[in-house]
Amino acid sequence: MVIRKEKSLNEWKVKLSDRIDFYKFLQFIFHKQWTELKLYANKKGIFIIGDIPIFVAFDSADVWAQKELFSVNREGKLLFVAGVPPDYFSKTGQLWGNPLFNWNEMEKNDFLWWRRRISNLLDLVDIIRIDHFRGFDAYWEIPGNAENAMKGRWVKAPGEKLFATIKKYFGEVPIMAEDLGVITKSVTALREKFEFPGMKILQFAFGTGMETKFLPHNIGFNSTVYTGSHDNDTTRGYFEKARTQDNDIYLHTQKYLNYFGDNITFELIRTAYKTSADTVIIPMQDVLNLGGEARMNFPSTLGGNWSWRFSWDQVQSDMPKTFKELTVLFERPPKPKEKEVEIKIENS
pLDDT tens readout for residues 60-109: 999 999 999 999 998 889 999 999 998 776 888 989 999 999 999 999 99
Rounded Cα–Cα distance for residues 167 and 204 (Å): 32
Q: Among 77, 81, 78, which residue's Cα sits nearest to residue 93?
A: 81
* pLDDT score for 181: 81
Residue 332 has pLDDT above 70, yes or no: yes
Out of 62, 87, 110, 231, pick the active-site residue.
231
Do 167 and 223 belong together in one domain?
Answer: no
* pLDDT score for 87: 78
Calculate mean pLDDT across residues 140-144. Answer: 96
Residue 184 lies in a domain: no
Do 330 and 220 belong together in one domain?
Answer: yes
- Residue-range definition of the domain harbouring residue 251: 197-302+309-334
Q: Choose the final residue of a domain: 107, 139, 172.
A: 172
On average, the pLDDT of the chain sits at 92
Do 325 and 262 belong together in one domain?
Answer: yes
* pLDDT score for 132: 93
Do 212 and 285 belong together in one domain?
Answer: yes
Do 144 and 212 belong together in one domain?
Answer: no
Residue 1 has pLDDT above 70, yes or no: no
Do 58 and 139 belong together in one domain?
Answer: yes
Do 77 and 159 belong together in one domain?
Answer: yes
Calculate mean pLDDT across residues 292-307. Answer: 89
* pLDDT score for 342: 46
* pLDDT score for 338: 56
Task: Output the pTM of the full model.
Answer: 0.87
Residue 325 lies in a domain: yes
Residue 69 lies in a domain: yes
Out of 137, 178, 179, 233, pick the active-site residue.
178
Do 127 and 234 belong together in one domain?
Answer: no
Residue 88 lies in a domain: yes
Residue 347 has pLDDT above 70, yes or no: no
Active site residue 231: yes
Residue 274 lies in a domain: yes
86 vs 124 pLDDT, higher one: 124
* pLDDT score for 241: 95
- In the structure, what pLDDT confidence band is assigned to residue 2 with cuts at 50, 70 and 90? low
Residue 345 has pLDDT above 60, yes or no: no
Calculate mean pLDDT across residues 270-277. Answer: 97
Active site residue 178: yes
Calculate mean pLDDT across residues 239-245. Answer: 94
Residue 302 has pLDDT above 80, yes or no: no
Number of domains composing the chain? 2
What sections of the chain are H helices per DSSP? 6-15, 17-43, 61-65, 103-107, 112-124, 159-170, 185-193, 235-244, 249-257, 264-273, 284-287, 319-329
Rounded Cα–Cα distance for residues 144 and 95 (Å): 10
Do 125 and 211 belong together in one domain?
Answer: no
Residue 127 lies in a domain: yes
348 vs 248 pLDDT, higher one: 248
Residue 13 lies in a domain: no
- Measured CA to CA in angstroms, residue 206 lies from 7, 179, 183, 251, 271 at distances of 61, 19, 19, 9, 13
Residues 6 or more apart whose Cβ sits within 8 Å of residue 118: 52, 128, 166, 170, 173
Out of 36, 59, 131, 147, pick the active-site residue.
131
Q: Choose the final residue of a domain: 133, 156, 172.
A: 172
Residue 344 has pLDDT above 70, yes or no: no
Residue 289 lies in a domain: yes
Do 168 and 203 belong together in one domain?
Answer: no
- In the structure, what pLDDT confidence band is assigned to residue 341 with cuts at 50, 70 and 90? very low
Region of poorest pLDDT, from 40-44, 87-91, 242-246: 87-91
Residue 214 has pLDDT above 80, yes or no: yes
- In the structure, what pLDDT confidence band is assigned to residue 28 with cuts at 50, 70 and 90? very high
Do 111 and 69 belong together in one domain?
Answer: yes
Do 159 and 270 belong together in one domain?
Answer: no
Calculate mean pLDDT across residues 226-249. Answer: 94
Cα 83 off chain centre by: 16
pLDDT > 90 fraction of the chain, expressed in percent and rounded = 84
